Amino acid sequence: MPPQNALYAQSGGVTATINATACGLIEAARRQRTHIGRVYAARNGILGALSEDLVDTTAESASAIRALMHTPGGIFGSCRYDLSPLPQGRAQYERLIEVFRAHNIGYFFYNGGNGSAETAHLIAKILPRLGWPVTAIAVPKTIDNDIVRSDSSPGFGSVAKFVATSMREAMADLASMSHSSTKVFVMEVMGRYTGWIAAACGLALPASEDGPLLLLVPEVHFDRRRFLAAVRLRIARHGWCAVAVAEGLKLRDGRHLTQTGGDGIPGHEQLGGVAPLIAHMVREALQVKVHWSVLDYVQRAARHLASQTDVDQAYAVGRAAVAYAVQGKTDVMPVIQRSSNHPYRWRVTPGALASIMNREKRLPRSYLTADGWRLTARARAYFTPLICGEAWPPFADGLPQHAQLKMRPVPRQLKSVFQIEP
């Protein structure tokens, strides 16, 4: 058979290294000319596929694609949009077949997290049933580190490195000011319903040190009285206290401390705003000066402090996705398996999407001490290799440089316009 074209798309919250995955995938696909013709990218995830809004990456030079290695964000645009199963979503799949047939797309790569894995799974199963054979591969990324069957998720190592560094630097500042000014600093991090990112902040303290840093994660229910007692004790011992809090922090009854909105779809809720709530709680109860920070987009956009391990893994899963596709594998995701901590060794293997999609890998309780405030040695053995190595981007005039792509649009072949429901 003559080679068919490939379509790549990015989905969900982006990371500092998702474009490294795009680089790995596009470079690998360019070397598979007997199987893959052109590599297209959909603008704004699956929405671009449905609306026939495609970019021809063959117009980009090798150096421009290589520059994706050090470019944060999602270069082709992302989205939060889920396909519906049959029969509700039949029109969506029929539209995808129209677009795929019009552009001879036989390979689909969806770069995202747990929800995106389901989209790839549905495409892999439903499109062939409706008459268009397609190879569909989910490619992993998420700062939340909650993809099951994968030891780590591309994107997590870099955000872990950034938040641990930020906390260590903020603690140095706090120690300087605590004698006559601020006693408590609260830093809120992402992570949705898991505490992986907040736990990584614990690396800011040296190993075995019971210092003035508290970790608040969803896996340990928040108890106001116990927390305030812990803060008071650390102020008494050290003169100050730093707190890393996950946005999805929960009470014992399962409610989140704060939830600021969303579109009503499970997994799309917008969490955040817990840091000012915790800060107010401490200020009112202990009558001390408190500062707080919500890192928000900053933590997942910080490519200037990326982990080399994370960059390597992000690139590797992109390459593996292409290898699986040309081998005839479909409905799978390249996942990372760790074989040893010392030295750190890992490899990429295929995982069935049915065993991955819409599931959540939680932070093990064994990664925190009995009181829930600090990291255990087991946790440090897990986290440390993921943040190791510096992968500096090129700088010019004092600022990091990012890829500049031509983004040449693929001419539309269809006259019809698909109405995308919100």
Q: Where are the domains of the chain?
A: 4-141+305-359+394-400, 156-304+362-387
pTM of the model: 0.95
Q: What distance in Å separates the CA atoms of residue 29 and residue 137, rounded to the nearest whole number?
A: 13
What are the tens digits of pLDDT across the range 33-70?
A: 999 999 999 999 999 999 999 999 999 999 999 999 99
Q: What mean pLDDT is reported for the chain?
A: 95
> Please, which pLDDT band fits residue 299 given cuts at 50, 70 and 90?
very high
Q: Are 107 and 134 in contact (CB under 8 A)?
A: yes
Number of helices (H), then strands (E), belonging to the chain: the values are: 12, 15
Residues classed as catalytic: 144
What is residue 327's three-state secondary structure? coil
**pLDDT at residue 421 in the model:** 78
Average pLDDT over residues 97-111: 98
What are the tens digits of pLDDT across the range 135-178?
A: 999 999 999 999 999 999 999 999 999 999 999 999 999 999 99
Average pLDDT over residues 92-96: 98
**pLDDT at residue 257 in the model:** 83
Closest CA to 313 of 202, 207, 160, 167: 160
What are the tens digits of pLDDT across the range 317-355?
A: 999 999 999 999 999 999 999 999 999 999 999 999 999
3-state helix, strand, coil in the chain (%, to 5): 40, 20, 40
C-alpha distances out from residue 154 to 68, 111, 122, 170, 386, Å: 15, 10, 23, 26, 10
What is residue 353's three-state secondary structure? helix
> Please, which pLDDT band fits residue 272 given cuts at 50, 70 and 90?
confident
Domain 156-304+362-387: give its CATH architecture.
3-Layer(aba) Sandwich (3.40)
Average pLDDT over residues 69-90: 96
- Domain 156-304+362-387 in the same topology as domain 4-141+305-359+394-400: yes
**pLDDT at residue 261 in the model:** 41
Residue 245, phi then psi, degrees to nearest 5: -125, 135
Count Cβ neighbours within 10 Å for each residue of 342-371 and write b for 16 or more, e otherwise: eeeebebebbebeebbeeebebeeebbeee
Please determine, looking at this structure, whether the domain spanning 4-141+305-359+394-400 carries the CATH number 3.40.50.450. yes
Beta bridge pairs of residue 54 = 42
